Amino acid sequence: MDQSLTSAPSRALDDAFHTMFERSRAEAAPDLAMRLDRLARLRAVVADNEERFRQAISADFGHRSAIETTIAEALMLYGEVRHATKHLKKWMAPQRIATALQFLPARNRLIPQPLGVVGIIAPWNYPLQLTLAPAIGALAAGNRVMIKPSELSPHFSALLKELVGQKFDAAEMLVTGIEDEIAKAFAALPWDHLVFTGSTRVGRIVAEVAGRNLTPVTLELGGKSPAIIDPSADLEEAAERIAYGKLLNAGQTCIAPDYVLVPEGSLQAFAEKVRAHMRRMFGADPANKDYTSIISDRHYARLEGLVADAASRGAKILQPAKPDDPNWKAHRKFPPTLIVGATEHMTIMQEEIFGPVLPVMGYREPAEPVAFINRHDRPLALYWFGKDRAARDEVLARTVSGGVTVNDCLFHFAQVNQPMGGVGASGTGSYHGEWGFKTFSKLKPVFYRSAFNRLADLYPPYGGKIARLEKMMRFMS
């Protein structure tokens, strides 16, 4: 079923897109049964090949914790498919919309329709979940889908291409290659909707290229997601949860806590507690199978540079393991690291970290964390720890972020009934559950005029009838 894109990649990409595009216009929108069948086939792609996906993703990372791949990727996808399957009939049904009194006895309906062809530019950090979660929403909405995997995940990309080709016709869903020609041409195609997950820097380029075709885009980007420790917080509890949130996938998570703001008097104690929990969770052995490798030598060197810069500017470096053990670098595993006393002049506070390095900053006045966050780009996630409800609500009211988890990290992302998406530099648009269905649908408003409606009174020639109708409309407004 698969259409080979191995020769003349850009031309083959263009041909595959136009086949999908023409089919989406020529054929009726898929009915409920067809959409459910596509969702079932997509689930089978994952369910029948979980171990192969775990091995492929681990090969791309150098080592990827098998448990993390299962929990953070496969199980989340099963939940997405189950939720969409359960609710799809309701989502597809025309919605009754109230009709203004002056237009009665007419009626309004909102009818969901597939947009057509959806393109997905996928990332490498959670390649299975962040590739197929938007595809679930797009298929549920009745679209055709084309996926461009990351060039940093070649083993995963080849496997996904093979398995999708076995389950789907190339005009339903297709996985492209990862050649440079495809990467450059993909965003420039006239998609009905384009999804990009990745860095803010590349997201700007994708949005600019897509904008030439007026292609609507969903951008799930990143940035610096803060964690605020309120004076009312349980330091031990907060330290444990932040340690987990930071070190999942070795920090290579777009919603990982990027830095922590702590009351100045608790700064050192908090950092020591985080270090202790990091050591308890992942030990000090670079060969620990629960701890994931950094995706590439380039990213590893970037993290080394960030830590070195912070140290040279006076920060205190805390690590739960001996960083000079050559096995860290041999396994491409970066030792968990805390930067105590970080300042915004350090490079590490000026770019997304995307690794197991956690800056910890002190504050004196309660208003300082909000002021600091609001001086910078709006984050993809925000985390607040404490028991003071008034302080919590003040932070929620005065900051804008893609999402929030209170007294923990990451878990707002796993809520299938809530949208996931950024704001400003951290992204635009959203998906998950019904939000994904709506993102990938055109919710078309339809007005059904009644034979008994007096709208003809609006037609010229104007006279006394228009005055009476105007008076009635003013009364009803």
The residues annotated as belonging to the active site are 220, 254
CA distance 375 to 368: 11
**49 in Cβ contact with 159 (< 8 Å):** yes
Helices (H) and strands (E) in the chain, counts: 17, 16
3-state secondary structure of 219: strand
CA distance 27 to 269: 64
Three-point CA angle 353, 358, 361, nearest 5°: 115
Burial code of 63-86, b = ≥16 C-beta within 10 A, e = fewer? bbbbebbeebbbebbeebbebbbe
Q: Is 312 exposed, middle or buried (0-12, 13-18, 19+ CB in 10 A)?
A: exposed
Contacts of residue 142, Cβ cutoff 8 Å, sequence gap at least 6: 29, 30, 35, 113, 114, 441
Q: Which of 178, 88, 100, 104 is nearest to 140 (CA)?
A: 88
First to last CA, the chain: 58
**260 in Cβ contact with 270 (< 8 Å):** yes
- Across the beta sheet with 95-97, the strand order is 95-97, 107-114, 441-448
